[in-house]
Amino acid sequence: MLKPVPLYEYIKALHLIFVITWFAGLFYIPRLFIYHIEASEKASPEKEILTKQLQLMAKRLWYIITWPSAILAISFAIWLLVLMPVWLQQPWMHIKLVFVVLLILYHLKAHQIFKQLQRNEVRYNSKFMRIFNEGATLILFAVVFLVILKSTFNWIFGVIGIIVLGILLMLGIKLYKRIRSKNPEA
């Protein structure tokens, strides 16, 4: 006989779904920023055509997927903490919440850049945006390892791992830049 699934499991599933869609938006929006910045360097009429299309794509992604997902992921997370207040006593949860705050700050910075580009204010170059794009990746790695490994996680190795991942991401960006300079269509 099947046991009924507790409310907690449904809330956890919904939280996870909206975390995934939130990250999907956070992974893609900086790519649109990069394309927008690069389009702003093109000649007319290509510049205007691309800029208008990229602004529309970014607006739909940001307001239809990313913001609602962020709000729902955070809402379901709060609900989970209300259902399981004992988690707030766990050291791994304190560290996870620090990364969640960093993710929210990253989201708000992306929102600031989004608003600037919607006004055709280009304040960053595409190299900066390629590096900025990796912020969500680092946070995702940290949170997933924290949640899966919890208290069995060795913090020293975790910090070293995040630093190594960051270095590898930067090396990947440099390699991509080198390949792209040799082949602009890459």
Determine the Cα–Cα distance for residues 16 and 89; give it in Å rounded to an integer. Answer: 21
Q: How far is CA 77 from CA 8, 17, 96, 115, 156, in A?
A: 11, 11, 12, 27, 27
Residue 62's closest CA among 17, 10, 114, 112?
Answer: 114
The answer to whether 129 touches 39, Cβ cutoff 8 Å, is: no
The answer to whether the annotation marks 96 as part of a ligand binding site is yes
Determine the Cα–Cα distance for residues 101 and 86; give it in Å rounded to an integer. Answer: 20
The answer to whether the annotation marks 177 as part of a ligand binding site is no
Residue with tokens 């910090």: 159
State the binding site for heme. 15, 96
Annotated binding residues, written as ranges, equal 15, 96
